[in-house]
Amino acid sequence: MPDAFTSRTLHISTGSRERVVDLTSDCEDFLREAAAGRDGLLNIFVPHATAGIAVIETGAGSDDDLLAALHTLLPADDRWQHRHGSPGHGRDHVLPAIVPPHATLPVIAGHLELGTWQSVCLVDTNISNVNRQVRLSFLG
């Protein structure tokens, strides 16, 4: 019988541009092994101060719309008190207040219980940190 709690760390390279990275297939791959057909909860956590997790539609422009909205809400300019790093980097440290660094989602019969158009995504606006970790934990 599989463990009631199982965890794995993904290593994601986001490159040198702002990105929304779809993690849904990575989550499903993890659950095939960790959940083994059981019900439970999947927690996705980004242990970084400048990235977040969003559950959104991808592939139809919503990921680009999210980045555009973040640019409107959090412009990359000199208004930020946090000033080290690339110009406007202070905005990246405010991002997790808007796009939280975690999500907890239901797992039914070993599969994510997402809506038709929902995907689990890493949101990374920090162009200075190209290597990210994402921790997946199943409790069931």
Tell me the per-residue pLDDT of 34-85, one tens digit each, with 9 for 90 and over.
999 999 999 999 999 999 999 999 989 999 999 999 999 999 888 888 877 7
The phi-psi region of residue 72 (left if phi > 0; otherwise alpha if psi is between -120 and 50; otherwise beta) is alpha
Query: What domains appear along the chain, each with residue ranges and CATH number?
Result: 5-139 (2.60.120.460)
**Residues forming a β-bridge with 47:** none
Q: Both tokens of residue 10?
A: 């993904």
Quote the pTM value.
0.93
Q: Which amino acid is at 105?
A: L
d(CA 39, CA 13): 31
Q: For the chain, give the number of residues.
A: 140
